[in-house]
Structure 1
Amino acid sequence: MIDLLVAGGGPAGLAAAIHAARVGMQAVVVEPRAAPVDKACGEGIMPSGVAALRSLGVEVSGHDLRGIRYLAGARRAEATFHGSPGLGVRRTELHAALYQRAVELGVRIVPGKVGEIRQAHDRVSAAGLTARWLIAADGLHSPLRRELGLDRPGGAYPRRYGMRRHYRIAPWTDFVEVHWSRHGEAYVTPVGDNLVGVAVLSRDRCSYDEHLMAFPALAAVLGGRGANSVRGAGPLRQRARSQRAGRALLVGDAAGYVDALTGEGIALAMATAAAAVSCLAAARPQAYPAQWARLTRRHRLLTEGLLRAARYPATARLIVPAAHRAPAAFRAAVHALQ
């Protein structure tokens, strides 16, 4: 019987397997997709996420990020990170580096998909494997969250979606730029010497190019330089009744997700993966939901606050002017998230 079965070989699942291997647990990852895996992602990693990757022995190349900048017309607000920079990195580069590190540490990665889960008092069985513990890291729309009875309806919140495309253009800034409009947001993240990623977030269902038209100055800079096709994801908000069911724990996006608005997905995936494995190594899975709540609290509160303000055009147009007029408050918010 293996120690840990990880369902899902994205960043959260691979990080969990790496943590497990580093504390002497035998880990197997079940993942249906071939590496490296790409997906719709803003591709900006907060400084805490960069530090977490390095602590795992994972080094990725990309573009250093000095901070966050909000823009709306002529108004802007910006805050630099304390200490170390963040990093803009292609999702495929990040996945390849995590995959390689997991293999180096003896993690077995097998093709397949986890479906039915059977639990006993001392074991869990799925995908033809039996383990002491299971970590479900199968993404935003986690089938295993439903299989474990942990899926929770999203409520009456507006559904929001994200789409991302890359552009062959030299980065003009070392900040993540967040452009605001009454329809949504556009995130510009430098990820290479001649490559930027642009992700749009909105509750409106229309094409990527139609979304980009809400940001005419940005669209003019990017025009004709598209490097690849558009990738999309959503609805973004996903909720879980708990992050634990018996001997199974949820990590990363599978554990619950508010929105991509504050760009902490990878940092939170690293943090929740570490916490989950720490609880399992101590045979205290019951402690994990409280640890998850503590690790994600600031992100959830700040993101919910911004979403409420952005929900209505009358208040959405005030976000950047307010940040511009209160730079200390904006810096404090960015530093709380980094």
Structure 2
Amino acid sequence: MRDLVVAGGGPVGLAVALHAARAGLDVEVREPRAGVIDKACGEGLMPGAVAALARLGVDPEGIDLHGIRYVDAGRGGVREARADFRAGPGRGVRRTVLHAALHDAVARAGVPVVATAVRDLEQRDDHVLVDGEPSRHLVGADGLHSGVRRLAGLTDARPHRDPRRYGQRVHLECAPWSAHVEVHWSPVGEAYVTPVAPDLVGLAVLTADRTPLAELLPAFTTLAPRLAGVAAGKVRGAGPLRQRTRARVAGRVLLVGDAAGYVDALTGEGLALGLAQAEAAVAAVAAGTPEAYEIAWRRLTRRHDLLTAGLLRATRAAPVRSHVVPAARRMPWAFGWAVDQLARPA
């Protein structure tokens, strides 16, 4: 009998597998998609995520990020506020580059990756049957629309009061123009600009408007002039972003990453949180106390959820959104504190 099956072979699932192998557990990853997986994401790693990857011996190639820059258009022209990371640089990394680096690390660790999805589970006193095969534990790391979350009965099906938000991402074939992640604010949402290679910039837009990306971009008047004539790649989308769970542990089944619940990508801390959850979940499994992960999950996510949910509520109305950058300019200490809270290790 295996000690652990990981459902989902994205970055967080592979991190679970690496931590499990280091703990001496017999672990297997199940992922139906073969090879390197791409998805819509901002591609900016916070300093905490860079440090978590380094502890796993993973050092993906990318562009150093020195902080966050908020930008919008005011009556007197472009306004901006900037806060640098105090915990060292983050890194802009293409999703495919990050996934390939983790995939290579898992292969070196001798962890098998099986090309199948988890479709059924049954809880037993001392193990869980995963598609009929016994494993002492199962970790669901299978994303926003997690099948493991549904199979374990952990989905919170109560109706959402907040507007549903979606993300779209595209790559721009141009040299980066900033060493910061730029967040451009507009009435329709936020656009995140992240340098990911010497000749490539990632652009991600978060919005409640399901309009195609090309039709949303003119609303970002501080950004549109830079995009004129720039070649763009394939647009990828994700959403709805808000996902709620009743709990993160059910018997011997644990949820990590987006599968464990998601507020929004507004603050860009998702991968750092997922990597911290991966480490905490494996620690609970190795100790034979999977229920302890619920407490660890709450501790890890509390700061992020409060900041993200608070900023979402505060900026829901378009008139309020126009005051975000001016407020950050007037109170640089508060803006710097918020960025530092999000950038530090979980």
TM-score under structure 2 normalisation?
0.96
CA apart distance, 1:226: 3.0
Shift of residue 155, structure 1, vs aligned partner: 1.9
1:127 is aligned, of 117, 126, 131, to: 131
- Residue matched to 1:101: 105
Aligned equivalent of 1:32: 32
The reply on whether 1:249 has 2:254 as its aligned counterpart is yes
Quote the residue 2:60 is aligned against.
60
Q: Is the 8 A contact 1:310 1:316 kept in 2?
A: yes
2:201 is paired with a residue whose SS is strand
User: Which residue of 321, 325, 331 corresponds with 2:336?
Assistant: 331
Partner of 2:283: 278
Distance in 1, Cα, partners of 2:245 & 2:2: 27
Letter in 2 for 1:159: R
Secondary structure, counterpart of 1:40 in structure 2: coil
> Displaced runs of 4+ in structure 1, greater than 6 A?
none
Question: How big is the shift at 1:63?
Answer: 0.4
Tell me, in whole angstroms, the C-alpha distance in 2 between the residues paired with 1:166 and 1:133.
38
- Asked if the contact 2:87/2:340 (under 8 Å) is kept, the reply is no
Question: Which segments of 5 or more consecutive residues in structure 2 lack a partner in the other structure?
Answer: none
Contact 1:112 / 1:127 at 8 angstroms: preserved in 2?
Answer: no
Instruction: Give the whole-Å Cα distance in 1 for the aligned partners of 2:48 and 2:218.
Output: 33
Cα contact 1:30–1:110 (8 A) shared by 2? yes
The code of the aligned residue for 2:293 comes to Y
| 1:305-320 pair list within 5 angstroms | 305-320=310-325
Q: Which amino acid aligns with 2:289?
A: R
1:124-273 aligned within 5 A: 124-153=128-157, 154-273=159-278
Q: Do 1:69 and 1:175's aligned partners in 2 also have CA atoms closer than 8 Å?
A: yes
Paired AA for residue 109 in structure 2: L
> Percent identity over the alignment?
57
Local SS of the residue matching 2:38:
coil
What amino acid is aligned across from residue 17 of structure 2 in structure 1?
A: A
C-alpha distance in structure 2 between counterparts of 1:163 and 1:130, whole Å: 39
> How far is 1:128 from its partner?
4.5
CA displacement at 1:34 relative to structure 2? 1.2
Q: What is the letter of the counterpart of residue 319 of structure 2? A: A
Give the Cα separation in 2 of the matches to 1:22 and 1:123: 21
Residue 267 of structure 1 and its aligned partner are, at CA, apart by 0.4
Indicate conservation of the 8 Å contact 2:121/2:132, yes or no.
Answer: no
Deviation digits for residues 176-225 of structure 1 (CA, Å, limit 9, x no counterpart): 00000111000000000010000000001101011111113312212232
RMSD of Structure 2 on Structure 1 (CA): 0.9
Contact kept, 8 Å, 2:166 with 2:237, in 1: the verdict is: yes
8 Å contact kept, 1:169–1:195: yes
Deviations 1:55-87 (A, max 9, x none): 001110000000001011221111100132000
- Give the length in aligned residue pairs: 338
Match of 1:21 in 2: 21
Alignment equivalent of 1:75, drawn from 76, 79, 94: 79
